[in-house]
Amino acid sequence: MTISNKKQAAVTAAMPASLRAAVAGYRWVRDTAGESDAAVYRLQGRDGAPDLFLKHGKGVAAAELADELARLRWLAPYLPVPAVLQFAQAADPQQAWLLTAALPGKMAHELLEANPEIGPAVADALAAFLRQLHALPVAGCPFDAGHAVRLAQARRRIDAGLVDADDFDARRQGWTAEQVWLALQRCQPLTPDLVVTHGDFSLENVLMQDGAVSGCIDVGRAGVADRYQDLTIVWRALGELDAALQQRFVDQYGIVDIDQGKLQFHVLLDELF
């Protein structure tokens, strides 16, 4: 959806001049595919220039953009993530803007919706990419995204009224955020198997081209955590399409026996984000 000139002016009003110049002349299209707290815009059509993405957030969302900036810079030598072009912050009101280059390819969920027959190839590509991500050096990663951190974030979201209960999975429709929280407590303790994780490895956050993963986006939750943080989200998404894809993904990733307890914990945790 192309946004109005009034909306575009509101987003650019407090930008530094260098960032306003960088986005001038583009057509702005609101991107609603993800679930980011920040507003996301695809910038197109500037004299044949490549597309860009602009994220704009206020308050908590502004802080999350700063987190994403740090993770993009750390991941860039290892994986295909969006190149950071500019980042800016304003103190009054607290807001931030993150400008990145668009990556090639289409979202995995778009490809599967258009052609479900490619499901096995997509499952294989996702497993291969996740093995690559999970092989990154844990000791060198400065970001902690483990259970304690994520649970604390979830609790803050509940207390701030930021959890959308209407978006819960079908089996938890009618639940409150507090009921999900209590169910999470019953799943603990868990023994973590720590790797570098994406944090929200959904089909909307993985881009594919020519049968392979061409990049990943929305890495603001990346950090060291149990590998099931990523496995669970993509496992659940594939299961909504075809249970056989779940098993193929697990096999290609290299898991012999899936840990149902960890799956349950991370499914519940994801409801609160």
What is the model's pLDDT at position 1? 58
DSSP 138: G
Q: How far is CA 79 from CA 71, 135, 159, 186, 204, in A?
A: 11, 11, 35, 36, 17
Instruction: Answer yes or no: are the C-beta atoms of 97 and 53 closer than 8 Å.
Output: no
Residues 69 and 133 in one domain: no
**What is the reported pTM?**
0.92
Q: How far apart are CA 75 and CA 42, in angstroms?
A: 22
What is the model's pLDDT at position 11? 85
What is the model's pLDDT at position 36? 64
User: pLDDT tens string for the chain (273 positions)?
Assistant: 577 777 788 888 889 999 999 999 999 999 876 556 789 999 998 888 999 999 999 998 999 999 999 999 999 999 999 999 999 998 888 999 999 999 999 999 999 999 999 999 999 999 999 999 999 999 999 999 999 999 999 999 999 999 999 999 999 999 999 999 999 999 988 899 999 999 999 999 999 999 999 999 999 999 999 999 999 999 999 999 999 999 999 999 999 999 999 999 999 999 999
Instruction: Answer yes or no: are the C-beta atoms of 217 and 89 closer than 8 Å.
Output: no
Active site residues: 200
Residues 28 and 159 in one domain: no
Signed CA dihedral, 248, 210, 135, 85: sign only: negative
What is the model's pLDDT at position 14? 86
Residues 232 and 259 in one domain: yes
Q: How far is CA 212 from CA 80, 108, 185, 229, in A?
A: 12, 10, 38, 22
Q: Which domain holds residue 214?
A: 106-271
Q: How far apart are CA 165 and CA 143, in angstroms?
A: 28
What is the model's pLDDT at position 102? 97
Q: What CATH number does the domain containing 229 carry?
A: 3.90.1200.10
Residues 126 and 162 in one domain: yes
Instruction: Enumerate residues 6+ apart whose C-beta is below 8 A from 43.
Output: 23, 26, 27, 28, 29, 51, 52, 53, 54
Residues 9 and 142 in one domain: no
Residues 87 and 120 in one domain: no
Residues 186 and 257 in one domain: yes
Residues 94 and 125 in one domain: no
Residues 113 and 23 in one domain: no
Map tokens 């995995």 to a residue. Answer: 108
